Chain A
Amino acid sequence: MILDGKCPTGPIEKTWDKHRFDMKLVNPSNKRKYKILVVGTGLAGGAAAASLGELGYNVEAFCYQDSPRRAHSIAAQGGINAAKNYPNDGDSIYRLFYDTIKGGDFRAREADVWRLAQVSNNIIDQCVAQGVPFARDYAGYLDNRSFGGAQVSRTFYARGQTGQQLLLGAYSALARQIKAGTVKMFPRTEMLDLIVVDGEAKGITVRDMVTGEIRSHVGDAVVLCTGGYVNVFYLSTNAMGCSVTAAWKAHRKGAFFANPCYTQIHPTCIPQHGDKQSKLTLMSESLRNDGRCWAPKKKGEKRGPNEIPEEERDYYLERKYPSFGNLAPRDIASRAAKEQCDDDRGVGPGGRGVYLDFADSIKRLGEDTIRERYGNLFEMYEKITDENGYKVPMRIYPAPHYSMGGLWVDYNCESNVPGLFVLGEANFSVHGANRLGASALMQGLADGYFVIPYTIANYLAKTAPGKVKADNPECKKSVDDVNNNMKKLISINGKKTVSEFHRELGKIMWENVGMARSDQSCKEALKKIPVLREEFWKNVKVSGSGAQFNQDLENAGRVADFLEFAELLTRDALYRNESCGGHFRVEHQMPDGEAKRDDENFCHAAAWEFKGANAEPELHIEPLKFENVHLAIRSYK
């Protein structure tokens, strides 16, 4: 099937305004008759639930943590982009649009990206009004910094805790609506199924993580804002609870999964220290504003960093990409780091690391300025590594970080299942094959504050409120299915723990479908994943029962879904026989090692339809048209 993204036509700068006018509205007095289920209360879901509640809809919101304030958006450090052009350095909506399309290696829909750039400015205003303490200069004006993939300074920040402050802004707006009674919040509640009635999304089945109760909630529309899936690699910068579960359950109920192989490996993470490690820690890319990446020129170098003289250091990003230097986009910076290590010039344990050096900036600006800019990152680095980054260069290595792929949505953020909307990292929409720094926070808030309030009305206006009742047979069936799945997991009583399976899966994925992929490695993974999945269902050991607080069981369900999803991700990586952005197929590279796209055959989104856990999924294609940005080879030289 050829998918239609339902993009408005006409001059791109008018598309969103025109579309907003063309969409249907729900009369103010009718809004409270509609119930909207918002799953996930990170930036996307928190902003959506608060805004929809404020409009007068009857909202129920869910998250798995004990409070909506703890969604993983909280961990974003660096900043959020907007096309304000406050520094007067040549920024504009068009430039942000252009940078995002190019950064994504021409694999995103133009109209969606334009809208993102257009509303980016409203986001900053909104957050300021909420009391988000963005950095200011001495005159009281908002301050900016630079991020990878841009030559203008358009990133707004709140120390090294921008995600935290933006999330707390959305959380406070949500708190206001909870108090007002328009939003009912269900923390410690995990969605484990989507309820589809007559082809439309009308509810979800959840597990109360405290009591273990499984129950369904019905509504007139479902909005999934459940974040990303890179924990499929086991070690990543995501939180321990981040999973593909909600998206995967929706996929199993008919929602197409688009471009799952687009995963982002972030260049500036703290290298792994051992095999008992549970996660990797990111240090904001903003560090690359003042830190210089280098590796020793000599293979197998044994000297400490401060003993290696200047002329024996290879500042490889500055050498290879003179115009962007240390601010080259993430996919490029990550691969360059891997290249150094593969060339036996890596540093630290196992040679899996490169240096990020602040000595020059400290000389130029003083340690205090560096401390003011990144103090918390240096502190975090020291806690984990026991090293002082002001005195010795930091060691960094790439780590799985973000998922550009996600559930397929049209221009309205609606999936192919009517009534199912998907926002934030959970959808596939705007970042193409590579996301630029400071653009995910922007997308989450754009979707939640400024897109869904309009587009959901267009759907609701065409449906009668309360069509599906709690006693619908689909609800009972869904609850039974979830219950049975839980029972099955517990009854296996095998020999291996859930974490052991997760670790093994992660290893298969990282080695075969990680930073570099090939026809052969993908096929290898496609052999191994089903075997591991089969073993899981025969030999996993899950403790306790379903009718209690049971973290082992929660985790088992998530890993079970990753074991299915991993196969789809790999299949997509095998199918996409080109390199683009974060998807690097070793067979397709330029003579200098850059990613080589194949626009003739792959200038499209690949959206997969579920056909059964052990059956081949069906591929649907949405062709991408570039009418405003010239389809060109991405160059950061």
Chain B
Amino acid sequence: MSHDKTMNLTLHVWRQKGPKDPGKFEVYDAKDVSPDQSFLEMLDEVNEDLIKAGKDPIAFDHDCREGICGMCSQVINGMAHGGQDRTTVCQLHMRMFKDGDTIYIEPWRARAFPVIKDLVVDRIALDTIIQAGGYTSAHTGGIADGNAILVPKPEAEYAMDAAECIGCGACVAGCPNGSAMLFTSAKVSQLAVLPQGQAEAARRVKEMTETLQECGFGNCTNHYECQAACPKGINVKFIAKLNREYLKSLF
């Protein structure tokens, strides 16, 4: 519900002109912030002031602002998406902060995600991983009735748990190795558990994991930071599933 008290905050924001330019933190004041505002709305206000002052506004990715498109991507006080459980930056609300707080805002940092500008990074590598095999090769048309393939409820739920991934890349940003293992394993697991995906399971896991390495992502060494950072709560059990699927594919 609405709170009347507004707050004043100090922001340290990573500013970087382009991929090859050096970046640094700049300090901004965020004034009269309402606790009901979202984090991005707070940044909108800061940007409005910058624009009016003839300065370059802070670039950050966002679109749906509903926590589902996966576009928003900021490390806040050292934590991808700000560290609130199962929450994207765009769903983070200012009531999580208090008057006088200092907030550090940085882009995703990973070798595979070069900075485009300020807080905006290039995540095309995640698409490349999906292109390597994150699909069933179903043709458009000429398909049997949906109920011709029975999927027991537990399998359907398991697939859905994995499929909830929004592809934001927080798992990569949160991982000390910059690994995209959680992201990849979610897609591999979703399709491996469904009858529709099983015909191509072996090839899929091989090609996706190979591409993962080619794209410059690091290895998984079981830190589980990815699961902690994931705004959709994707479970590391899918990484174990990927490993099993990988072993299966060798035989």
Having A164-B68, A274-B34, one finds 17 other A-B pairs with CB under 8 Å, namely: A72-B69, A131-B191, A131-B194, A140-B151, A168-B163, A172-B130, A172-B135, A240-B64, A277-B37, A277-B41, A279-B65, A281-B65, A349-B2, A387-B1, A497-B48, A549-B117, A551-B57
Q: Does B175 contact A (CB under 8 A)?
A: no
CB of A122 within 8 A of CB of B167, answer: no
**Min distance, Cβ A233 to any Cβ of chain B, angstroms:** 16
Chain B 51-88 interface mask (CB, 8 Å, partner A; 1/0)? 11011110101111111111100000000000000110
CA distance A179 to B67 in the complex (A): 28
Known contacts A141-B150, A178-B131; A276/B41 CB under 8 A? yes
> Which residues of the other chain, A, contact B56 by a CB distance below 8 angstroms?
543-544
Q: How far is the CA of A265 from the CA of B78 in the complex (A)?
A: 40
How distant is the Cα of A543 from the Cα of B156 in the complex, in angstroms? Answer: 49
Interface centre among B54, B144, B151 (most CB of A within 10 A): B151
A173, B140: Cβ atoms closer than 8 Å: yes
- A65 at the A/B interface (Cβ < 8 Å)? yes
When distances are taken between beta carbons in the complex, the residues of chain A under 8 Å from B57 are 543, 551-552
User: 29 A–B contact pairs at CB < 8 A?
Assistant: A65-B63, A66-B124, A67-B126, A69-B70, A69-B130, A74-B64, A74-B166, A75-B66, A86-B147, A128-B146, A130-B196, A159-B160, A161-B164, A175-B127, A178-B127, A240-B63, A273-B2, A274-B36, A274-B37, A278-B44, A380-B66, A383-B67, A383-B93, A386-B93, A449-B140, A500-B48, A541-B51, A544-B56, A552-B51
Whether a CB of chain B sits under 8 angstroms from the CB of A2 is: no
From residue 320 to 365 of chain A, which have CB atoms closer than 8 A to chain B?
349
Interface flag for B134 (CB, 8 Å): yes
User: Does B101 sit within 8 A of A, measured CB to CB?
Assistant: no
A241 to B54, CA, bound (A): 23
Question: Within 8 Å CB of B130, what residues of A?
Answer: 69, 171-172, 175
Instruction: Please report the C-alpha to C-alpha distance between residue A130 and residue B200 in the assembled complex, in whole angstroms.
Output: 12
Q: Does A187 contact B (CB under 8 A)?
A: yes
**Contacts A172-B134, A497-B52, A543-B54; is A276 near B34 (CB within 8 Å)?**
yes
Q: How many A-B residue pairs have CB under 8 A?
A: 223
The 8 A CB mask of A278-291 against B (1 = contact, 0 = none) is 11011000000000
B87 cross-chain contacts in A, Cβ below 8 A: 383
Instruction: Judge whether B38 is part of the interface by a CB distance below 8 angstroms.
Output: yes
**Contact among A136, A173, A449 with B135 in the assembled complex (CB-CB below 8 Å):** A173
- A126 surroundings in chain B (CB, below 8 A): 138, 140-141, 143
Which A residues are CB-close (under 8 A) to B59? 549, 551
Please measure, in the bound complex, the distance between the C-alpha atom of A130 and the C-alpha atom of B151, giving whole angstroms: 13
Q: How far is the CA of A511 from the CA of B143 in the complex (A)?
A: 48
Q: Is the CB of B52 within 8 A of A541?
A: yes
Contacts of B131 in A (CB 8 A): 175-176, 178-179
Choose from B54, B93, B116 the contact partner of A210 (Cβ within 8 Å). Answer: B116
Inter-subunit contact A128/B196 (CB<8 Å): yes
Query: In the complex where A165-B163, A450-B141 touch, is A140 in contact with B135 (Cβ < 8 A)?
Result: no
Contacts of A124 in B (CB 8 A): 146
Contacts of B68 in A (CB 8 A): 74-75, 161, 164
Name the B residues within 8 Å of A276 (CB-CB): 34, 37, 41, 44-45
Give the docked Cα–Cα distance between A124 and B143 (Å). Answer: 10
CB A373 to nearest CB in B, in angstroms, measures 13
Q: What size tier do the contact residues of chain A reach?
A: 35 or more
Cα of A1 to Cα of B234 in the assembled complex, Å: 56
Asked if residues A173 and B2 are in contact (CB atoms below 8 Å), the reply is no
Expressed in whole angstroms, the Cα–Cα distance for A273 and B147 within the complex equals 44
Closest beta carbon of chain A to B196's beta carbon, Å: 5
Q: Does A50 interact with chain B (Cβ within 8 Å)? A: yes
Please indicate the chain A residues that have their CB under 8 angstroms from the CB of B153 in the complex. 136-138, 140
Q: A75-B68, A549-B59 are in contact. Are A133 and B93 (CB under 8 A)?
A: no
Contact check, A70 vs B65: say whether CB atoms are below 8 A apart: no
8 Å CB interface, B188-213 against A: 190-191, 194, 196-197
Q: How far is the CA of A136 from the CA of B153 in the complex (A)?
A: 5
Q: How far is the CA of A125 from the CA of B196 in the complex (A)?
A: 11
Beta-carbon contact of A131 and B61 below 8 Å: no
The answer to whether A128 and B63 touch (CB under 8 A), given A67-B127, A173-B138, A552-B57, is no
- What 0/1 readout, one digit per residue, does chain A (427-458) give for beta carbons within 8 Å of chain B? 00000000000000000000001100100000
Q: With A136-B151, A139-B150, A175-B130 as given contacts, are A130 and B70 in contact (CB-CB < 8 Å)?
A: no
Q: Is B221 an interface residue (CB 8 A)?
A: no
Cα–Cα, bound, A126→B66 (Å): 27
Tell me whether A125 and B143 are in contact (CB under 8 A). yes
Please measure, in the bound complex, the distance between the C-alpha atom of A178 and the C-alpha atom of B134, giving whole angstroms: 12
Chain A residue with minimal CB distance to B84? A383
The 4 A-B pairs with the shortest beta carbon distances in the complex, nearest first, are: A140-B150, A172-B135, A129-B138, A133-B159
- Chain A, Cβ-Cβ closest to B65: A279
Contact A50 B36 (CB under 8 A): no
Cross-chain contact A133 with B141 (CB below 8 angstroms): no
Which of B50, B93, B122, B147 is in CB contact (< 8 Å) with A142?
B147
